């Protein structure tokens, strides 16, 4: 739902970095999006194209690296990964799972010129 606003935030970062990192065009953007970031990747791609129109990132490729969320299974006493807040432990099937992250939405790299 809020992917448009996220892309506007993303574009702001790209525009700010343009002077600092001395580039004029953004060719590609790499994002890391956690499984619990509440982001719909299809909507994000759509919004990215719309928001970047007429800007320094028009037509830029968007690479999205979706990462599962790290979590701790109390029963197995070891770290696991989950894809939703309600996932059971993939090994023991137990529900005593403490989610440790997975809500990141980070720009990791840009290809620019």
Partner 1 sequence: MCSVCGCGEGEVRIGSDSSHALPHEHVHPHDHGPEHAHAPPVRAPGPMPSDAERHHYGTGPARAHAPGMAQARMVQIEQDILSKNDAYAAANRRWLAERGILALNLVSGPGAGKTTLLARTLRELSEAYPMAVIEGDQETSNDAERIRAAGARALQINTGKGCHLDAHMIGHALESLDPDPGAVLFIENVGNLVCPAAFDLGEAYRVVILSVTEGEDKPVKYPDIFRRADLLLVHKIDLLPHLTFDLERCLEFTRQVNPGLQALCVSSTSGEGLEDWYRWLKLTREARLVGHPALGTPSAARDAG
Binding site for partner 1 (CB under 8 A): 1-6, 8-10, 12-13, 16-17, 20-23, 27-28, 30-31, 36-38, 43, 46-47, 50, 63, 65, 67, 84-86, 95, 104-113
What is the C-alpha to C-alpha distance for residues 57 and 49, in angstroms, rounded to an integer? 9
Comparing CB distances to partner 1, the nearer of 10 and 80 is 10
Cβ atoms of residues 87 and 95 within 8 Å: no
Comparing CB distances to partner 1, the nearer of 16 and 91 is 16
What is the C-alpha to C-alpha distance for residues 32 and 106, in angstroms, rounded to an integer? 5
Helix (H, G, I), strand (E, B) or coil at 59: coil
- The distance of closest approach from Cβ of residue 45 to partner 1 in the complex, given in angstroms and rounded to an integer, is 10
Comparing CB distances to partner 1, the nearer of 46 and 92 is 46
Which single residue is written with the structure tokens 């129109």?
Answer: 53
């Amino acid at each position: 739902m809020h992917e448009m606003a996220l892309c506007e935030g993303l574009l702001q970062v790209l525009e700010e970095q343009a002077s600092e990192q001395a580039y004029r065009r953004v060719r590609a953007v790499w994002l890391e999006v956690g499984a619990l970031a509440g982001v719909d990747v299809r909507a994000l791609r759509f919004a990215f194209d719309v928001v970047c129109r007429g800007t320094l990132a028009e037509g830029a490729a968007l690479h999205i690296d979706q990462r599962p969320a790290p979590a701790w299974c109390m029963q197995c006493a070891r770290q696991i990964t989950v894809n939703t807040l309600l996932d059971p432990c993939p090994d023991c099937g137990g529900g005593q799972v403490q989610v440790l992250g997975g809500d990141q939405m980070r720009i990791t790299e840009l290809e620019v010129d």
